[in-house]
Amino acid sequence: MKPLIHPAIEDVPVEAILHALADPVRVALFSEIVAAECAHSCTVLASGVDRPIPKSTLSQHMRILREAGLIRGERKGTEMRNTSRCAEIDARYPGLIRAIADAHAIQMEAEKKKSRARARKRARVVARAA
């Protein structure tokens, strides 16, 4: 197996972090990792995303997060265990991860409200038609 690349945090430009978190699936995966108290396998993380992700796509997302210095991956048998590098990133770029996480939480809450409003509207339309 190829060795995993974990760049030194001093070598990680802010652009790499922002690029890695520009994808909605990756930011959701990273949020799951940050919220976790312990290391999670890729399969556990994939189950937390709202739609199924093929294993190959999940591997690509995790590689991008790892190479951007956001996570640390460790092989345990056939599983890959992932942990965040938030403390290291925060030491290098104070407040960056917290700001991104807060913005993501606000966005997710707004999307939930929109989804609930659409569901109520559909229910009213169905009720009128019946």
Taking residues 95-109, what's their average pLDDT? 90
Query: For domain 9-104, which CATH number applies: 1.10.357.10, 3.40.190.10, 3.40.50.2300, 1.10.10.10?
Result: 1.10.10.10
Instruction: Report pTM.
Output: 0.80
Cα–Cα distance, 93 to 82 (Å, whole number)? 21
Domain segments of the chain as ranges: 9-104
Instruction: Find the radius of gyration of the CA atoms of the chain.
Output: 18
Cα–Cα distance, 22 to 80 (Å, whole number)? 23
The predicted-structure confidence for 54-74, as pLDDT tens digits, reads as follows 888 888 999 999 999 999 998
Cα–Cα distance, 125 to 130 (Å, whole number)? 9
Cα–Cα distance, 76 to 31 (Å, whole number)? 22
